[in-house]
Structure 1
Amino acid sequence: MKKIVFLTLALAAMAFGADNVQPTELESMNVWIKAFSVLAAGLGLGVAALGGAIGMGHTAAATIAGTARNPGLGGKLMTTMFIALAMIEAQVIYALVIALIALYANPFIKFA
């Protein structure tokens, strides 16, 4: 895991540091804000997707276990599971919306 993180940071440093133009101080700050916005959007969406996947797995496992114990409640448990899965997926979609706002409509660029 440490090797992957180190490789990612090294490649990101090379990608962002490849510019030879000397920007003004304001442009330099905007570049940093954009770079960290991309990093934050990627990490935030990745963590949200990871948490959503874990939550969906636990939800499905609990539904299967409940249906195995009492097959008569299978329909009700399935309905409840689909509602829970929709709510979990909504949280991931909210993270996607926030990531897209950070990337394309970043409110912090005008303050730099």
Structure 2
Amino acid sequence: MKFFVLFFCAMAGLAFGADFSGVDMIKSYSVVGAVVGLGVAACGGAIGMGNAAAAAITGTARNPGVGGKLLTTMFIAMAMIEAQVIYTLVFAIIAIYSNPFLA
């Protein structure tokens, strides 16, 4: 894991080491920001989905009679968690392709 973090940090350094003008620098920062933001959102969404699934499985194991209600509630919660990740993806695409920071 440490190798990958070091590798990607080195690649970002190489990407920014080129001779960029101001516009290219803003574009490159937008790409890096979009990638980091999407990675954090996906990681948070995965942790949230894992916790929701674990809680639903535990609840079903304790009381099998309410398994259907728990399953429905879990799917609604997972859809809301995934919606947050999709919103981040939309913002990342906007930041990359129609950058509001460029004049």
With structure 1 as the length reference, what TM-score do the two structures score? 0.84
Give 2:75's aligned residue: 82
Give 2:13's aligned residue: 13
Of residues 74, 99, 104, the one that matches 2:92 is 99
Q: Secondary structure at the match of 1:109?
A: coil
Which residue identity lines up with residue 36 of structure 1 in the other structure? Y
Give 1:65's aligned residue: 58
Of residues 29, 34, 52, the one that matches 1:36 is 29
**Whole-angstrom distance in 2 between the partners of 1:4 and 1:90:** 28
RMSD of aligned alpha carbons:
1.6
Runs (5+) with no aligned partner, structure 1: none
Identity of aligned residues (%): 66
Say how many residue pairs are matched.
103
Q: Secondary structure at the match of 2:61?
A: helix
Query: Post-superposition shift, 1:11?
Result: 1.8
Query: Post-superposition shift, 1:5?
Result: 3.2
Q: Secondary structure at the match of 2:99?
A: coil
Q: Secondary structure at the match of 2:65?
A: helix
With structure 2 as the length reference, what TM-score do the two structures score? 0.91
**Whole-angstrom distance in 1 between the partners of 2:2 and 2:51:** 28
**Whole-angstrom distance in 1 between the partners of 2:82 and 2:102:** 30
**Whole-angstrom distance in 1 between the partners of 2:45 and 2:18:** 36
1:109 and 2:102 are equivalent in the alignment: yes
Runs (5+) with no aligned partner, structure 2: none
Q: Which ranges of 4 or more aligned residues in structure 1 deviate by more than 6 Å?
A: none
Judge which range, 60-69 or 2-11, deviates more: 2-11
Which residue identity lines up with residue 15 of structure 1 in the other structure? A
Query: Post-superposition shift, 1:60?
Result: 0.2
Query: Post-superposition shift, 1:18?
Result: 4.0
